[in-house]
Chains A and B, each alone.
Chain A
């Protein structure tokens, strides 16, 4: 009886085949994979002048705009990849 059951189970298991179609999740561009940096604070170890504040604001604004570009690129990447993925049906 056990032998018959084993053969039956094995025979049923042979039906467990999967459709050999695998979609790979797309890789994101390398430049978008770096984590966001922090804003730079003023250096309090020396005497701070107004020009230092403006310079610091300039640097931080640059960081914001660079991050904005990356953020917008992520939106574009997602929208494009979704459009491509939706064609596979």
Chain B
């Protein structure tokens, strides 16, 4: 049944609603006319067809109107969700900007601190090295500690 509504979705809603109401009142009118047709001479033969067509059209109109109501409710829900998604995307962008700025700033502070300490070490270099001789094995062990353990397992 969804296929019918899908095909009807190509027709503008306003026109569609008008058609449904025309069908509803047309069907109703036809049904009432079928009850009064006996009063008009020579028209009695149309009583049954008018009644059948009237009831059929009335049923179809009710069904289409109901379907249209459901369709509109869904469209409203879709519009509501789209608005929420738009808000969420905007908020997401704002959060990204805040985090980006924060990270850049904090990493800059870290780098600045590293530079300051480097300068201090350079200044104190002679004092630091005055009474200390680093054995070769210490350098090898240090580099072992610094090496990536996962890269070692790859070898």
Contacts and interface: CB of A to CB of B under 8 A. Distances in A.
A26 B92 contact: yes
B33 to A, nearest CB: 34
Given A69-B103, A77-B99, A60 B110 contact: no
Secondary structure call for the A interface: helix
B102 interface: yes
Interface in A49-81: 49-56, 58-62, 65-66, 69-70, 73, 76-77, 80-81
Interface size class, chain A: 35 or more
Contacts, number: 130
Nearest to B151: A38
Interface in B109-126: 110-111, 113-114, 117-118, 121-122, 124-125
Contacts of B125: 49, 51
A44 to B, nearest CB: 6
Given A19-B78, A27-B96, A88-B85, A42 B142 contact: yes
Interface of B: 2-3, 6-7, 74, 78, 81-82, 84-85, 87-89, 91-92, 95-97, 99-100, 102-104, 106-107, 110-111, 113-114, 117-118, 121-122, 124-125, 128-129, 132, 134, 138-140, 142-143, 146-148
15 contacts: A14-B3, A19-B78, A20-B78, A31-B100, A41-B146, A48-B134, A50-B134, A51-B124, A54-B121, A58-B117, A60-B146, A70-B103, A70-B107, A84-B91, A88-B88
